[in-house]
Amino acid sequence: QVQLVESGGGLVQPGASLTLSCAASSSTLDYYTIGWFRQAPGRAREGLACISGKENTTYYTPSVKDRFIISKDNAKKEVYLQLNNLEPEDTAVYSCSMGPYPYPSANTFILLEKFGYWGQGTQVTVSS
């Protein structure tokens, strides 16, 4: 059983940036793909970005590709999501998930939703 802990959320003004962290209890990230998701009130959970634990291969949902950046630190077993130029519409609970899938793609979001390990999420609120 892998445990994930997200941190870094908070209340920010429109246009601000925020970096979220996802710390994994697994012995290594190498055998996993890790994804970031968000869920706003009344809306379905949305996959944002995912990254290969062993390589630097990434995949982004097109709607966030120009503003969000996913990265990782294998030594720390942490995955990050940098949120730039935040908008009120970005207000949501942001969660990370990981599973033993070798290649980040749109399909990875579906697999993680169904079978991945999940953290508890961190709230991001964008408001003036």
Q: What residues have CB less than 8 Å from 106, skipping those under 6 apart?
A: 47, 59, 61
Tens-binned pLDDT, residue by residue, of the chain (128 aa):
899 999 999 999 999 999 999 999 988 899 999 999 999 999 999 999 999 999 989 999 999 999 999 999 999 999 999 999 999 999 999 999 999 987 899 999 999 999 999 999 999 999 99
Q: How far is CA 99 from CA 50, 82, 108, in A?
A: 11, 21, 9
What span, in angstroms and rounded, lies between the C-alpha atoms of 88 and 30?
A: 35
Average pLDDT along the chain:
95
Contact 88, 16 (CB under 8 A): no
Tens digit of each residue's pLDDT (9 = 90 or more) over 68-98: 999 999 999 999 999 999 999 999 999 999 9
What span, in angstroms and rounded, lies between the C-alpha atoms of 71 and 113?
A: 20
Place of tokens 């003036």: 128
